[in-house]
Structure 1
Amino acid sequence: MDSGAVDVLVIGGGNAALCAALMAREAGASVMLLEAAPREWRGGNSSHTRNLRCMHDGPQDVLVDSYPEEEYWQDLLKVTSGITDEKLARLTIRASSTCRDWMRKHGVRFQPPLSGALHVARTNAFFMGGGKALVNAYYRSAERLGVQIRYNAPVDAIELDDGRFVAARIGTERITARSCVLAAGGFESNREWLREAWGQVNGEWVADNFLIRGTRFNMGVLLKSMIDAGADAIGDPTQCHSVAIDARAPLYDGGICTRVDCVSLGIMVNRNGHRFYDEGEDFWPKRYAIWGRLVAQEPGQIGYSIIDSKAIGRFMPPVFPGVKAQTLPELARQLGLNETTFMRTVAEYNAACRVGTFDHSVLDDCHTEGLTPPKTHWALPLDTAPFYAYALRPGITFTYLGLKVNENAAVHFGGQPSPNLFVAGEMMAGNVLGKGYTAGVGMTIGTTFGRIAGKQAAKAAQRGAIHAAA
């Protein structure tokens, strides 16, 4: 069964897809958006977001001070260890300085950014009401502009003709369009694909201990089908936005509230009672998204954040209370850790601490000496009862394996850009994020390339209409 053709078909229902649909419609194209989820779960991972990272050369509305291009680039370069396309990264950075007025036009409202524990008052613009409010605003705007929206519409196949989009399939239904934007997310909810990527350790599938912070609907069906069809891929399937989250979090859609933000204020140990990484390497917004991957590499894919009473009040309180004990040996016993090993780890850490002037808002001079791994900043001895612990597991938000693009967001086949098939959001984020993460950059990538993809798809549809009429 064939459905009526539109100019631009957008596959996906989150931020990138909505930006593409709105831009294409503003350019005069007829647009249909296909969201795999039911209406009440629409928006994908974007519903769980709160902000986007923005370049600015001086104070701008809700942004204070300045965050120039070069500093933004250096931040991105550091977290990705250089695994990024500089041209596309800088395009994203520059676009982040001019998108907010367009977002406001479509109903998005901003609030003064949080300060204190999150340290993002200068770099990130926060959405009033969070990501759910942003998604709802975009859907209202899309409906008002005449975008056709279909829910419960999971596309399972794409028809191509030598790199040109022809149609999308939902079961037996065939939907044609002059151009198409793919923005259907990664494969973080596909347990079998995660198993394949991460493999086994000691006969156990590593990915079986992963929790999914985001939507259960991102199965990677389109991503896999495009790669199988010869689209150029980019990225490592094990690289992802992966946060160490409360081990008691739900399997899906736990979102931001499952985070535990006290890691930098204490020590992190594995189930053998050993530390395994520098907890004070850098500010938490620049490092929180590496800890899921770090925990994933530890035995049983679990870690324990250990703090004492001096840390209380210095981080966002978690939703779930931690394990509490009046002594460290009692804490170890409650966690099921080897008491002797755990106490040795704490004693070695405490003895290595060189306490200067503690200040969690700067990269302070409280550090360890002669300890491996070191703690570079905010190193205070664990010596003040009561003591607290939080069991943490890898929480996967989105995956970085994606489709290679150029500055026009075009999908590539054998190095050649498609004339009418474009991609945005998680399905191409690996072009900019080869590894690592810094707070808010995912929404920046989605907004930038969603807008580019929508604009280019409208142009491609216009060319197709002219060609058909000739």
Structure 2
Amino acid sequence: MPTPDKQAVVDVLVIGGGNAALCAALMAREAGASVLLLEAAPREWRGGNSAHTRNLRCMHDAPQDVLVDAYTEEEYWQDLLKVTGGLTNERLARRVIRDSSTCRPWMRSHGVHFQPSLSGALHTARTNAFFMGGGKALVNAYFRSAEKLGVQVRYNAPVNRLEIADDHFVAAHVQVQRPNGSTGTERITARACVLAAGGFESNRDWLREAWGTNERGETPSDNFLIRGTKFNQGTLLRHLLNDHGADVIGDPTQAHMVAIDARAPLYDGGICTRIDCVSLGVVVNREAQRFYDEGEDFWPKRYAIWGRLVARQPGQIAYSIIDAKAIGRFMPPVFPGVKANSLKELAGQLGLDGNTFMRTLNNYNNACQAGTFDHTALDNCHTEGVLPAKTHWARPIDTAPFYAYALRPGVTFTYLGLKTDETAAVRFGDVPSDNLFVAGEMMAGNVLGKGYTAGVGMSIGTAFGRIAGMQSAQAATKSGASHANA
């Protein structure tokens, strides 16, 4: 084992640089602890996946500034219960929900500003508070506030292992660049530590291990795109699970996975790669067949199931098909879609079998029942006599020009993580550590066993980041007192 170059000492060490990590660092510092935050990325890429976010799902019992009407605890819980299919810890989920109703004044005190829901963001004006300037503005505000308060921040500082004795955090080993260009290790001791280093979605080998090979002999994960940072390699998560026996939660194949523009970059495409017209048309695979109900529920509640749906299709690709009637009813993608004056022409441009494509579209069109179309409600426009059914917003695709958008699975973050409780403590053999805590994507699987609803990831990160920050400061105080009395 290499000898560390040097050793640093701090009250609270925060590992990570996204929303959860920053909330933890700010809370710990406000509580009086000295804090060092280690961000694996360089400064220009700081913020992790949080830099790509745009809103926070908030409980509120009455209208509040940018939020309209009310969104009660019970409605929030039912929405979460529905998308997770019951794979959630109700106690922790309700803690997140309740904390979402009180966190925004604190966020504002650290420079975060909010704005009303975007006009193209369907059905979120009541449930989600949008950050002015998006997630990048949020993390920049938090970093500015942290540095002003005296939080030490170091970039290009990936941590590859921890020293843990009897479930008690002792030290972290961080990679450093020596003046001669070689790589060294620095040992950092702390009275308490918060882990907020994200999931493993950018680790291609781990994705292949989790997803394996399908019945067609394909390795599905090879066709996954990563919506966020390339720095979420899951190094510490693997280390905690394999080398220290930390308690685990979640399925390694479950993730916040969205059907995104197939032309998106491998990493950091972010929110702009989403294709939001699925509920306004039909989706077919490369065999020109429909495979799921496009109108099952409002898009913010169901958009995150489509990544996994596409991941199960041949070649992990699908095509969202709409006609001219849908234009102007959804947030337009960054890149224009394939456009044609006939459905047959559209099939040709997509390289799909024309006869099968036309049979699929004709069957769908003929199955559409007359109703009152209303994309802001669960309307009565549905299909009959075709599988899969389309239960809402079903209108014939019959008005030129026609458009198609190729879709690939886009992974935001993985749900395999560290099991925790309301104190955010990492658990070993169901025993909570007294000074090692976890927040954000590294523990989101406690609340999200599967599925997703817009803005809940930021709710989890904010709630447990703040909890972990407070708990770590208290643990550091106890540790300092015990050392002083020793």
Q: Scaled by the length of structure 1, what TM-score is found?
A: 0.99
1:218 maps to 2:222:
no
Q: How far apart, CA to CA, are the structure 2 residues paired with 1:96 and 1:115?
A: 23
1:376 maps to 2:388:
no
Indicate the residue corresponding to 1:98 in structure 2. 102
Residue type of the partner of 1:206?
P
2:418 to 396, 403, 410: 403
1:193 to 191, 202, 206: 206
Segments of 5+ residues of structure 1 without an aligned counterpart are none
Q: How far apart, CA to CA, are the structure 2 residues paired with 1:46 and 1:413?
A: 28
2:310 to 273, 278, 295: 295
Indicate the residue corresponding to 2:182 in structure 1. none
1:184 maps to 2:207:
no
1:88 maps to 2:92:
yes
**1:120-199 paired onto structure 2 within 5 Å:** 120-171=124-175, 172-199=185-212
Indicate the residue corresponding to 1:423 in structure 2. 438
Give SS of 2:159's match.
Answer: coil
Q: How far apart, CA to CA, are the structure 2 residues paired with 1:288 and 1:160?
A: 40
Indicate the residue corresponding to 1:77 in structure 2. 81
1:465 maps to 2:469:
no
Give SS of 2:480's match.
Answer: helix
Question: Over residues 231-286 of structure 1, what are the superposed CA-to-partner deviations in whole Å (9 max), with x where a residue is unaligned?
Answer: 00100000001110110011100001111100000000000011010000000000
Give SS of 2:475's match.
Answer: helix
Give SS of 2:325's match.
Answer: helix
Give SS of 1:200's match.
Answer: coil
Give SS of 1:118's match.
Answer: coil
Indicate the residue corresponding to 1:259 in structure 2. 274
Indicate the residue corresponding to 2:180 in structure 1. none
Give SS of 2:157's match.
Answer: coil
1:307 to 304, 322, 325: 322
1:27 maps to 2:41:
no
Residue type of the partner of 1:29?
A
Residue type of the partner of 1:151?
Y
Indicate the residue corresponding to 1:345 in structure 2. 360
Give SS of 1:333's match.
Answer: helix
Give SS of 1:354's match.
Answer: coil
Indicate the percent of aligned positions where both proteins have the same amino acid: 77
Give SS of 2:461's match.
Answer: helix
1:333 maps to 2:319:
no
Residue type of the partner of 2:63?
P
Question: Over residues 128-170 of structure 1, what are the superposed CA-to-partner deviations in whole Å (9 max), with x where a residue is unaligned?
Answer: 1000000000000000000000000000001100111000001
Indicate the residue corresponding to 1:438 in structure 2. 453
Q: How far apart, CA to CA, are the structure 2 residues paired with 1:4 and 1:82?
A: 44
Indicate the residue corresponding to 1:451 in structure 2. 466
CA contact (8 A) 2:8 2:187 kept: no
Residue type of the partner of 1:179?
A
Larger displacement relative to structure 2 (111-120 or 282-291): 111-120
CA contact (8 A) 1:116 1:361 kept: no
**1:224-235 paired onto structure 2 within 5 Å:** 224-228=238-242, 229-235=244-250
Residue type of the partner of 1:186?
G
CA contact (8 A) 1:187 1:218 kept: yes
Shift of 1:467: 1.0
Shift of 1:4: 2.2
Q: How far apart, CA to CA, are the structure 2 residues paired with 1:69 and 1:115?
A: 25
Q: CA RMSD in A?
A: 0.8
Residue type of the partner of 2:481?
I
Question: Over residues 318-347 of structure 1, what are the superposed CA-to-partner deviations in whole Å (9 max), with x where a residue is unaligned?
Answer: 111111111111111111111111111111
Q: How far apart, CA to CA, are the structure 1 residues paired with 2:79 and 2:217?
A: 38
CA contact (8 A) 2:261 2:405 kept: yes
1:16 maps to 2:20:
yes
Q: How far apart, CA to CA, are the structure 2 residues paired with 1:166 and 1:310?
A: 61
Q: How far apart, CA to CA, are the structure 1 residues paired with 2:207 and 2:8?
A: 36
Shift of 1:116: 5.0
1:391 maps to 2:409:
no
Give SS of 1:453's match.
Answer: helix
CA contact (8 A) 1:17 1:450 kept: yes
Residue type of the partner of 2:32?
G
Residue type of the partner of 1:368?
T
CA contact (8 A) 1:108 1:137 kept: yes
Residue type of the partner of 2:111?
G
Indicate the residue corresponding to 1:244 in structure 2. 259
Larger displacement relative to structure 2 (201-210 or 424-433): 201-210
Segments of 5+ residues of structure 2 without an aligned counterpart are 176-184
Give SS of 2:37's match.
Answer: strand
Change (3 A) 1:20 1:211: same
Shift of 1:309: 0.7
Give SS of 2:117's match.
Answer: coil
Indicate the residue corresponding to 1:119 in structure 2. 123
Question: Over residues 403-438 of structure 1, what are the superposed CA-to-partner deviations in whole Å (9 max), with x where a residue is unaligned?
Answer: 000000000000010000000000000000000000
1:48 maps to 2:63:
no
Residue type of the partner of 1:439?
A
Q: How far apart, CA to CA, are the structure 1 residues paired with 2:407 and 2:270?
A: 15
Q: How far apart, CA to CA, are the structure 1 residues paired with 2:283 and 2:120?
A: 22
Shift of 1:118: 1.6
Q: How far apart, CA to CA, are the structure 2 residues paired with 1:441 and 1:115?
A: 20
Indicate the residue corresponding to 1:203 in structure 2. 217
Q: How far apart, CA to CA, are the structure 1 residues paired with 2:469 and 2:120?
A: 37
CA contact (8 A) 1:425 1:449 kept: yes
Q: How far apart, CA to CA, are the structure 2 residues paired with 1:53 and 1:24?
A: 24
Question: Over residues 433-452 of structure 1, what are the superposed CA-to-partner deviations in whole Å (9 max), with x where a residue is unaligned?
Answer: 00000000000000000000
Shift of 1:2: 3.5
Shift of 1:204: 2.6
CA contact (8 A) 1:2 1:176 kept: no
Q: Scaled by the length of structure 2, what TM-score is found?
A: 0.96
